[in-house]
Structure 1
Amino acid sequence: MPEFPSEIDFLSLFECEPALLDTSKDVPFYYNQATYRFSNGEDDFVVKLSPSYGVVKIQVTRSGTNRLLSILELERVEKFEITADKKDHSSILLTVINEETQQMIEIDFKPYFKQIFREHLTR
């Protein structure tokens, strides 16, 4: 079962309310799809999460010009960690485990966008 932070943790990290796929109160956050839209002043972010499926999609565009900077679409995130959640610095660490490798993606949202991808052999 994928490990994801709580809905409250995401509200704090992204500083916005998500648009939920299923708006009924019967569906817990973990089993829903949440879309967060926010900006760091220079870049605009769209983050889609489906925690129960381990799905994380992040699109980054330059504010004002809408120029695409990055698209990250992961279907099997085992662990989503918030590594920094401060007013001037926010970042996450995503872990994907395959049969022979472990992939770790570090993403900074503030003060500026940065993405680092690392893969390690596990065998």
Structure 2
Amino acid sequence: MHWYPEENELPSLFECEPIFLESPSDAIDFFYNEAAYIFSNGIENFIVTIAPSDGEVTIRVTNRSSENLITYLSFKRVYKFEITDDKKDSSSILMRVEDDTLTQTIEVDFKPNFKLIFKEH
């Protein structure tokens, strides 16, 4: 079972409304949809795409002024997506990827500046 925040927690974290792959309805729950969040911290631009039921998360980070790619992350087995900080001047998440033999944790700061910490356990 995957663990992700509730749908209403993510717009606060990313400071934007999601763009859904399929229009939300009573028949399509957030957990079974794909949502993209497009936002900026003033220095970097972000596109974060989340598909909770599939355990998929992608994060694309570009330089705001040049649009040069800084980081592209694509995960297919995110079992836990946790908001670790959600304040006006700081925001971050912790993702956990697990399989039979190892666990990886990915810490991502969006504000005030982008930071990525990747650990294999």
TM-score normalized by the length of structure 1: 0.95
Match of 1:19 in 2: 19
Structure 1 portions without partners, runs of 5+: none
Letter in 2 for 1:94: M
How far has the Cα of 1:116 moved from its partner? Answer: 0.4
How far has the Cα of 1:12 moved from its partner? Answer: 0.8
How far has the Cα of 1:100 moved from its partner? Answer: 1.4
TM-score normalized by the length of structure 2: 0.97
Letter in 2 for 1:65: S
Match of 2:6 in 1: 6
How far has the Cα of 1:64 moved from its partner? Answer: 1.8
How far has the Cα of 1:114 moved from its partner? Answer: 0.2
Do the aligned partners of 2:33 and 2:51 also contact (CA within 8 Å) in 1?
Answer: yes
How many residues align? The count is: 120
Give the secondary structure class of the aligned counterpart of 2:37. strand
Letter in 1 for 2:92: S
CA RMSD of the aligned region, Å? 0.7
CA distance in 1, matches of 2:98, 2:24: 33
How far has the Cα of 1:99 moved from its partner? Answer: 1.4
1:34-82 deviations in Å (ceiling 9; x for gaps): 0000000000000000001100000000002101000000000010000
Q: Give the share of equivalent positions with the same residue, in percent.
A: 50
CA distance in 2, matches of 1:12, 1:119: 29
Structure 2 portions without partners, runs of 5+: none
Runs of 4 or more consecutive aligned structure 1 residues displaced over 3 Å after TM superposition = none
- The equivalences for 1:1-123 within 5 A come to 1-25=1-25, 26-120=27-121
Give the secondary structure class of the aligned counterpart of 1:64. coil
Give the secondary structure class of the aligned counterpart of 2:8. helix
Give the secondary structure class of the aligned counterpart of 1:52. helix
How far has the Cα of 1:98 moved from its partner? Answer: 1.6
Do the aligned partners of 2:24 and 2:30 also contact (CA within 8 Å) in 1?
Answer: no
CA distance in 2, matches of 1:24, 1:110: 28
How far has the Cα of 1:101 moved from its partner? Answer: 0.9
